[in-house]
Amino acid sequence: METLSYETVIDAPMQKVWDILWNPETYSKWTQYFGTGSIMKSDWKVGGKTYFLNAKGEGMVSTIDSLDEPNQIVFKHLGMVDKDGNEDTQSKEVMEWNGSFEKYFLIDFGGKTKLHTEVQVEKEWQDHMDTGFTKGLMVVKSLAEGVSFGAV
């Protein structure tokens, strides 16, 4: 398992950056590099259920391990969801990465926000995560700073 981290400084307050990360309209914009039509459904409860899904309804089932809005959120990935909504948290495939974390930290940086993300992934997903987070955080930055961004 690899731990990857990404960071950017955004000229906007922490709450605005938080809202752009997790608002359904803007979430699908910055996560488009992970998969077109990406959505997140969450009960926003520690220990509850959060789903990261593609346009077909497939994706991951996770839980919120830690939440302190707008400072940080930590997701713990539990398994996969198929297009019929069935959850797999026990297969050999899933057990290889079950319990991996995805973390978002927002730090006040003199009126700006330092956004730091960390994700634990299997090595074969590193390029996909690098592309998704590098391009995605550029979109978060441009949305928060009110700058127009080409493909958004």
- Given a cut of 80, is residue 148 above it in pLDDT? no
91: three-class secondary structure by DSSP: coil
DSSP secondary structure string for all residues of 3-60: EEEEEEEESS-HHHHHHHHHSHHHHHHHTTTT-TT-EEEE---BTS-EEEE-TTS-EE
Helical axes 126-145 vs 14-22, angle rounded to 10°: 130
- Given a cut of 80, is residue 145 above it in pLDDT? yes
In this structure, CATH architecture of domain 2-145: 2-Layer Sandwich (3.30)
pLDDT in tens, 24-43: 999 999 999 988 899 999 99
* Residue matched to tokens 């026990």: 90
The mean pLDDT of 45-57, rounded to a whole number, is 94
Q: How far apart are CA 37 and CA 64, in angstroms?
A: 22
| Domain ranges across the chain | 2-145
Question: How would residue 151 be classed by pLDDT, with cut points 50, 70 and 90?
Answer: very low
Look up residue 83 and give its DSSP letter.
Answer: T
- Given a cut of 80, is residue 98 above it in pLDDT? yes
Q: Residue 61: in which H helix or E strand, if any?
A: strand 59-68
The mean pLDDT of 122-131, rounded to a whole number, is 91
The whole-number pLDDT of residue 96 equals 84
